[in-house]
Amino acid sequence: MTSQADQENLSTPAPGEWPVDPQEDVPVSDLRIWIDGCFDFTHHGHAGAMLQARQLGNELVVGVHSDEAILENKGPTVMTLEERCAAVDACRWATKSVPHAPYVTSLPWITHYGCQYVVHGDDITSDSSGNDCYRFVKRAGRFKVVKRTPGISTTDLVGRMLLCTRTHFINSLPAMLDGSEGSGSEEERERVGAECKQRITEYASDQSGLKPCVDVWSWQPSRGGKERRRSSVMKRQHDDKGVFTQMCEGKGVKPGQRVVYVDGGFDLFSSGHIAFLKSVTEMEEAEGRGRGWYEEDARSKRIEETGSDYGPAYVVAGVHDDEVINYWKGVNYPIMNIFERGLCVLQCKYVHALIFSAPFTPTPSYLSHLPTHTPHTVYHGPTSFMPHTHDPYAAAKEINIFREVPAHAFQHVNAGEIVARILASRERYEARQRAKLEKGVGEAEVRRRESMVRERERMERMNDLTSWTECADTEKSSGWDATTQTLDTCIRESVIG
C-alpha cells in the first residue's frame, strides 16, 4: 500500500493547483531557502530554525504539512492547518507559508517555489515507514543543516500538560540569565545564562536575522527584597514605576510613530495571540490613514529624514512573570516559562519592543516611565480568566487611553483551549508521546550511522582506514544493544508509563 507521504512525492500539482501562488515555476535561487515542518503550536524552537534558515538567504519559504499527513506519519495535531499557517506567517523571518507541503520533502515542490536549498535541524525526521523525510533532497545535494534549539519541542510541551509539572518555572529571569538560578554547577549555570542572553539578542533581529530590530527591557519593582510569592505578585498592582533594564537595543521609536502598549502571559503563543497583535496593528493602520500617514508626501518625507519607510505604530509588548501567571490562573500555568514565552513574542513581526516581567497591572507610574514613551493607547482583548474583583486596566481607562480589540476568528485559541484539546484526547496524545520515544531511538540510530559514515570519509581522506576499522568494531559491539536498552528505559520512565 502506498503511503500518503509517497503519494505526495509522486504527484506534482499542475499550474493552477498549487496551494499558494505563484502558479508558474519560479527561477531557482541559492538565496531562496525552503524549510518545512508541522509547526504544531509553534514555539521558539520552530522560530529558531526559521531564523537560522533565513540567515542563509534573503527569502524563506515555509512548507506546512497537512493534518492528514501528520496524523499518518507522527500522530494527531493539536492545532489545525489554518492555525499553524497563521503562526508561521507571523514570524518575522518567514517570507510565505505553503500549506499542504509534502511530509517527505519533494524536489518538484521546492524547485517550483524557486528554492535551491532545504534547511532542517540536526535531528532526523522520519516518515511512517521509518525513512528519512529528507532523503531525496540530500541525494540531490540540496540540503543544509542548522542547529536544533535545545530544551524545547512540541513533545516536551505536551508532556508538561499531561504531567502538570512546574519544574520549568523561572523564579527570576535576571538571576537565570546571570547564572545564579538554575540547576547544575556554577559554571554550567553561567554557560546556560550566556546562551539564553545570546538567544534573546538573536531573536530580536530584523527580517534578515542579521541586524538589530526589537528593543528589549526587563522590569523589576522599585522596592525589592525576598518576599512570599503572593505578596510579591500583589505588590506589582501598586503604583510603582519600577526599574527598567535594557537588554537589547533595537530600532527605537521613529518620528511620528504612536507608541501603543499590550501585555499578557502569551502562553503557548498561538494564533489567538497573533490575531490579537495583528488586530492592534490594523487598528493603528486605520488611525494612521486618518491622519494622512500613507499619503505620498508623508511617505517621501519619512524616507528623506530616516532613509526608509515604516509603519504608524510602535508596539510594546509586556510579558508577565511565571509567578504572576500562576497566581491568577493556577494549576501549572504557564506551560511555557517567561524566557520561552518572551522568545515567542520576540519573533513576531507585529512587535517592536518587549518588556520581560511586566507587571500584571500597568499603573500610571509604570506607563509614564516606559523607556519608549508614555503610550498613546493601551490595547487588550476580552480575557476569560480576568478577575472580577480587579481591573488591571483601570488606570488606562481613567486617562482615556484604553481600547479593547474586537473579537476575531481565533478568539477562542489560547493556552487553556490548547490544554483542553490535549486533555480531551489524552489517550491519542499519550500514544503520540510513546511513538515519539520509539521513533527517537530509530532516528538516533540513523544519526549514529550518518556520523560513522562521515567519520569513515574523513578517515579515508587521511588514508587511515586502520583507525576507522577499530572505531567501527567498537561501535558495533556496543551500539544496538545499548540503544534497545535505552528505548526500554525511556518507555518505562516516560510520562505515559
Question: In this predicted model, what pLDDT tens digit does every residue of 32-84 receive, in sequence order?
Answer: 999 999 998 778 888 999 999 999 999 999 999 999 999 999 888 889 999 99
Give 330's Cβ-side CA count (13 Å radius): 3
Under the banding of pLDDT at 50, 70 and 90, the label for residue 485 is very low
d(CA 357, CA 360): 9
173-423 matches 4-149 in CATH topology: yes
CATH of 4-149, one of 1.10.3720.10, 3.40.50.620, 1.10.1370.30, 2.60.40.10: 3.40.50.620
The pLDDT assigned to 225 comes to 40
CA distance 333 to 336: 8
- Residue 429 has what pLDDT? 66
Q: What value does the mean pLDDT of the chain take?
A: 84
Interval 147-204: pLDDT, tens: 887 777 777 888 888 888 899 999 999 999 999 999 899 999 999 999 999 999 999 9
Torsion sign, CA atoms 350, 356, 357, 358: negative
Whether 321 has a pLDDT exceeding 90, the answer reads yes
Overall pTM > 0.85: no
CA 96/CA 34 separation, integer angstroms: 10
Which are the contacts of 201, defined by CB distance < 8 A and separation ≥ 6? Answer: 248
> Domain 173-423 adopts which CATH fold?
Rossmann fold (3.40.50)
Domain-wise residue ranges, the chain: 4-149, 173-423, 426-493
- Give the model's pLDDT for residue 266: 96
In Å, how far are 75, 311, 341, 418, 436 from 214, measured between CA atoms? 36, 14, 15, 28, 36
Mean pLDDT over residues 218-239, rounded? Answer: 61
Which pLDDT does position 435 carry in this prediction? 62
Tell me which of 492 and 376 has the higher pLDDT.
Answer: 376
Higher pLDDT among residues 474 and 184, named by residue = 184
